[in-house]
Amino acid sequence: MTKIKDQNILITGGANGIGKMLGEKSLKEGAAHLVIWDINQENLDKTVEEFKAKGFDNVSPYIVDIANTEEIEAQAAKVLSDVGTIDILYNNAGVVVGKQFYEHSARDIDKTIQINVLGVMHTTRVFLPAMINKGAGHVINIASAAGLTPNPKMSVYAASKWAVLGWSESLRIEMERIGKDFHVTTVTPSYINTGMFDGVKAPLITPILDPHDVTDQIISGVKNNEILLRAPLSVNLLPILRGILPTRVFDFVGGNLFGIYDTMADFLGRPKEEALPEKESDKKTAKA
């Protein structure tokens, strides 16, 4: 079992949503130190103040753009120097665009892949050597049920989560071959009520998930070294149905009967002020 008490924990996208909840619950479990990576300074400051008001002073915030590999490497060096080896790493940061593929800009595609895929891989890469030197570590990758089924208006997001799922499982096998105290947990939840997917319609037998319930399941899954954590239980049907049904039959069952293919029809997402800020170069290009 993985213990959380007395461990150094890092959470990307940890100043909002389930990342923030995982941080607080880890502190309540007795984590030695919580490192929060986030791109939003205001949310970081607010989260640290909230945690301090609850008696948690062992929190270190870092402004990090997960889409920037050089920034990941630089901030990781600071964390390793300031805090030490990260024992439990939550790759939680992610973005979703929610458009038909032909409506995507180049930036929409690049940012989604940079954050949801490359950021996850590079963040893990920079912290693994210290874990290996210590002989123990646990990596938790927040993927998605979108990595198990196609879905309109989620093409790039689904692609990013399919990539994370395949990479995460491969990483798990590699780490298990190094030693028994290395663990990788891949989480594939359906829609979670955090604001990221505002406007979505829950498919049949798959309700919108409560973030407190999901984070409780994740914490429990980490402590029990679960390999794959799917939520809700109905998500377990997806790989079975896709494996045994012809594609057109699955399209009918998933699209028409369960309503999966219509879940994003009225997608809103987070308000623009909470979205990833544009770079000055992107703004200039848009005006040109």
Kindly list the catalytic residues: 157
Q: Which residues contact 220 (CB under 8 A, 6 or more apart)?
A: none
Q: How far apart are CA 263 and CA 252, in angstroms?
A: 15
What value, to the nearest 5°, has the Cα angle with vertex 136 and ends 148 and 217? 40
What value, to the nearest 5°, has the Cα angle with vertex 50 and ends 48 and 53? 110
The answer to whether 228 and 221 have CB atoms below 8 angstroms apart is no
Closest CA to 138 of 74, 209, 176, 89: 89
Q: How far apart are CA 109 and CA 115, in angstroms?
A: 10
